[in-house]
Amino acid sequence: METQTSLVGKTALVFGGSRGIGAAAARRLAREGADVALTYVSAPQRAAETVVAIEASGRAGLAIQADSADPAAIKAAVAKTMERFGKLDIAVVNAGILMLGDIATVSVEDLDRMLDINVRGVFLSIQAAASRLGEGGRIITIGSNTAVRSGHPGSSVYAMTKAAVAVMVKGAAVDLASRGITVNNIQPGPTITDMTADHIEAIKPLIPLKRAADPDEIAGLVAWLSRKEAGYMTGSSLTMDGGMAL
């Protein structure tokens, strides 16, 4: 039975759900009652482990290999989710890459790769998911607090892509409002994931709370935005970074 807080009977697709924040979101959505499909690129074992965790919660899971730089793969992931579960209620767009480089030396190849995945890939994932979402559907993107606070050398391109996502969400929210679909963006600060492993300790002193986030903390906000009780919030970027962007 649907309530304000339950996700029982819902189906979610997490783009980039094999590890880190994406895997935590997939597990949390399953614990709250949703069946969950997830995409991965190069970590099939991690994706399989996440599916096992989903199924341990009593829900159905599905891992789909799909590169978010490939438009056809994004569409195929949505189609495979529909084929398996018959519907789509929640789309979490977590796929993204971090490639640091001074603006004077960053290569065109690195620039294009980040734009392809972090901007174009997010847009195409929203577009593909929205075509299948029903009334009251949810789209949640995972951005970064660098969209509002870029204070680290070498982060200019990454910050630019995350700022683009924050603006993109505003427009998508307006476009999809007539269908009752909400679109929101979470902007985590430093979070303990594979992507941040090399520099997380150096950043901790800059965080007012003096610690990095656990992916499960970000997943909790994903779950709330997925619920019926969050239905009046759309077009928002919610920064969750231990006070860094204050």
Which pLDDT band holds residue 85 (cuts at 50, 70, 90)?
A: very high
Task: Give DSSP secondary structure letters for 79-90.
Answer: HHHHHHHS-EEE
Task: Report how far residue 111's alpha carbon sits from residue 80's, in angstroms, rounded to the nearest whole number.
Answer: 30
Q: Taking residues 192-220, report their average pLDDT.
A: 86
For the chain, strand residue ranges (E) read 11-15, 35-40, 61-65, 88-93, 133-142, 182-188, 237-240
pLDDT in tens, 30-41: 999 999 999 999
Q: What is the mean pLDDT of residues 171-193?
A: 95
Residue with the larger pLDDT of the pair 14 and 99: 14
Confidence of residue 94 (pLDDT cuts 50, 70, 90): very high
Mean of the per-residue pLDDT values for the chain? 93
- Which of 32-41, 78-87, 100-109 has the lowest average pLDDT? 100-109
Q: Which residues are catalytic?
A: 158
Query: Residue 210: which region, alpha, beta or left (left: phi > 0; alpha: psi -120 to 50)?
Result: left
pLDDT band at 151 (very low <50, low <70, confident <90, very high): low
Confidence of residue 56 (pLDDT cuts 50, 70, 90): very high
- Any idea where the domains of the chain sit in the sequence? 11-240
CA distance 46 to 50: 6
* Mean of pLDDT values over 189-211: 83
Q: What is the pLDDT of residue 201?
A: 85
**Predicted local distance difference test score (pLDDT) of residue 150:** 64
Q: What percent of the chain has pLDDT over 90?
A: 80
pLDDT for 221 beyond 70: yes
What CA–CA distance (Å, rounded) separates 5 from 122? 27
Q: Tell me if 77 sits within 8 A of 100, measured CB to CB.
A: no
To the nearest 10 degrees (0 to 180), the angle between helices 215-226 and 20-31 is 50
How far apart are the two ends of the chain, measured CA to CA in Å? 40
Reported confidence tier of residue 193, pLDDT bands at 50, 70, 90: confident
Amino acid, res. 62: L
pLDDT for residue 154: 83
pLDDT tens string 6-53? 899 999 999 999 999 999 999 999 999 999 999 999 899 999 999 999
Task: Give which of 34, 30, 62, 67 is closest to 48, Cα–Cα.
Answer: 62
For residue 120, the Cα-to-chain-centroid distance in whole angstroms is 14
Neighbours of 178 (CB within 10 A): 7
Answer yes or no: is pLDDT of 238 > 60. Answer: yes
pTM score, two decimals? 0.93
Strands, E, within 66-165: which ranges? 88-93, 133-142
Residue 192 scores a pLDDT above 90? no
How far is residue 157's CA from residue 98's CA, in Å, rounded to a whole number?
9
**Residues paired with 64 in a beta bridge:** 39
**Confidence at 126, pLDDT banded by 50, 70, 90:** very high
CATH of domain 11-240: 3.40.50.720
